[in-house]
Chains A and B, each alone.
Chain A
Amino acid sequence: KAGVTQTPRYLIKTRGQQVTLSCSPISGHRSVSWYQQTPGQGLQFLFEYFSETQRNKGNFPGRFSGRQFSNSRSEMNVSTLELGDSALYLCASSVLLGNEQFFGPGTRLTVL
């Protein structure tokens, strides 16, 4: 069974640009969560989606947004990039809400 896939794997952007990251969950998984990982803050929760509905949102500014499609695939968008947005963005999927989450390899975003 294929795992969680994330594209692109690496991304370099400049301040002020926007970026869209994509996540395809494990087949049959309906819940998708996004996390930001930095050396200083560790893994921090961004959003969680289930059945195309945002179920929970972390403490991040409105520049961070996301959505989920009917096939459970998800995207997150960051507008007006700042240097501090440089991080590893991880997507995780689970069968249903409350189950174990399985992570993808992440997208490494560098903002110059």
Chain B
Amino acid sequence: EDQVTQSPEALRLQEGESSSLNCSYTVSGLRGLFWYRQDPGKGPEFLFTLYSAGEEKEKERLKATLTKKESFLHITAPKPEDSATYLCAVQRRDSGYSTLTFGKGTMLLVSP
């Protein structure tokens, strides 16, 4: 059974204080690891897809990296508008379907 564990559950940062969110996973053949951002009362917003160990992707203050067992979402000099819940999900390879298995998320609060 595929499993995704995110840590910490919640993180409070001061504006400009960089940090990282962790996503550990077990899956029988990874096709892709996905990061989403979710604001309260809204659907998840797609951020990144990572396909192979060593891959990195960046978008504004966010950088996602992938190893064979975990992924990190690095947030550099965060701003209050980065406050949201960040979700990690895995997709199994060669399954014939797109199903995502999600972690429970990290709730990030950035204070001015």
Taking beta carbons and an 8 Å cutoff, which residues of A are in contact with B?
A: 4, 31, 33, 35, 42-45, 48, 50, 55-56, 58, 90, 92, 94, 97-106, 108
A97 to B97, CA, bound (A): 6
**A99 close to B98 (CB less than 8 A):** yes
**A55 close to B96 (CB less than 8 A):** yes
Binding-face segment, B20-28, B43-51, B76-84: B43-51
A75 to B103, CA, bound (A): 25
Most B C-beta atoms less than 10 A away, residue of A42, A58, A108:
A42
**A42 close to B105 (CB less than 8 A):** yes
| 8 A Cβ contacts from B46-70 to A | 46, 49
A100 to B32, CA, bound (A): 9
Question: In the complex, what residues of B have CB within 8 A of residue A33's CB?
Answer: 98-100
Question: In the complex, what residues of A have CB within 8 A of residue B104's CB?
Answer: 42
**A102 close to B91 (CB less than 8 A):** no
Give chain A nearest CB distance to B36 CB in angstroms: 8
Using C-beta atoms within 8 Å of the partner chain, give the interface range for chain B.
Answer: 20 to 34
Taking beta carbons and an 8 Å cutoff, which residues of B are in contact with A?
A: 31-32, 34, 36, 41-46, 49, 87, 89, 91, 95-105
A90 to B100, CA, bound (A): 13
**A42 close to B44 (CB less than 8 A):** no
Give chain A nearest CB distance to B49 CB in angstroms: 6
A46 to B82, CA, bound (A): 29
Q: What would be 24 A-B contacts, judged by CB atoms less than 8 Å apart?
A: A33-B99, A35-B100, A35-B102, A42-B102, A42-B103, A42-B104, A42-B105, A43-B89, A43-B102, A45-B99, A45-B100, A45-B101, A55-B98, A92-B100, A94-B98, A98-B31, A98-B91, A98-B98, A100-B49, A101-B98, A103-B36, A103-B46, A105-B42, A106-B43
Tell me whether A103 and B98 are in contact in the complex, defined as CB-CB below 8 angstroms, given that A42-B104, A42-B105, A98-B31 are known contacts: no
